[in-house]
Structure 1
Amino acid sequence: MGRHVPAVTRALDILELFLEGDGTLSAPDITRRLNLPRTTVHELVTTLAARNYLVTVPEQPGRYRLGVRTHQLGSRYAEQLDLAAEGRRVAREVAETCDETVHVAVLEDTDVIYIAKVDSTHAVRMVSAAGRKLPAHCTAVGKMLLASLPEAELRSRVDGRELVAMTPHSITDPAALQQALAAIRARGLATEHRESNPDVSCVAAPVRDSTGRVVAALSVSVPMIRWTEQRGAELAELAAEGAADLSLRLGHRGRPA
């Protein structure tokens, strides 16, 4: 690997400080936060401002915020994002950690479509495929995505619709579905036990884009012969971490409210 350039590293450290708090800082703030010499901070801030990476805050002399150049770079990055490709990368990392099947799915009306899948190496594993469509209310990813919809939009999608059963354990009662979705909202995670496949349990977490909107869900699926409450808790944590990683790649910052 090549040598890191200290001046570039310091300039990037300065820019990353603006991702925190209210997004405005003064040169003394930066000096204190990074423990750098005042002269160094002054030179770096002056250079970043000259290139429109920083701009002064109107009516607040001496304070800076991110400039238009950072927005242009972020917009170009967003244009090149591919949810499916990024989902496959993250799913592969999660699957390598837990050696179980990992899916990433999106919502289409009242169904989910799997856009990424990485298999377990175990002899007993899920039979599924990217591109497959399933009723959302029967899956952990689907319930996670339904729970993330605004109430009015959720009702417009599910009211009057028949909740078909995929197994005897599937939710078919609208009131039971509403109760399950409320619990998912409160927890921030979804589970599914033998509702889409009589031999499988799943846990799922939400994936957010740069605006904080839930655009996908990531799940870990486990055959019942390997499922325990302890294993479920471990996989729920992995699913949450994987979903947070994918959200970060999509431009999401921080935790949702």
Structure 2
Amino acid sequence: MSKGMTRRALSLPLETGEVASETSSTLKAFRVLEVLVRARRAVTLSELMQATELPKPTLHRTLARFEEAGFLSREPGGRAYVIGERLSRFALDVLRSDSAAAERRLILQRVVGEITETCNLAVLKKGALIYLDRVEAPWPLRLHVPEGGVALPPHCCASGKLLLAHLAAAE
């Protein structure tokens, strides 16, 4: 972190029906993942302890298990944790399988019907373009692109170039 930057305090807001004192080890583990995901940046052990209110040994053990399983990883310096590749893939699978996915698909189908061109839904993640969904146009000649979840270099396709063009200069 560069000089002059301050870290925001991490907090985990309670959702409706959530119990503040979750005792299940599974719920404690998910609380750690929630903090990491909501932070949108690397998070240190002390920040996680403060945000989750878990004891250091419990938190350290949980982090080690998640790291071994690929759900999170450490930054190159080893002092802060970030979302791992396996958790990213899991999140994409959730996005593609929830009820919102059906709504997104209907919107894509409607757009394809209006413009008769193939439509993609993609996001930039860690320097790669990841396709979440695609609806093909009714043309006999098509370019085959693998199913959703496939990562491509963003500079080699129109969707990637569009998203790159609208990034902030710092990104």
Taking structure 2 as the reference length, the TM-score comes to 0.45
Q: Give the number of the structure whose alpha-carbon radius of gyration is greater.
A: 1
Question: If each structure's strand is expressed as a fraction of its own residues, which one has the higher value?
Answer: 1
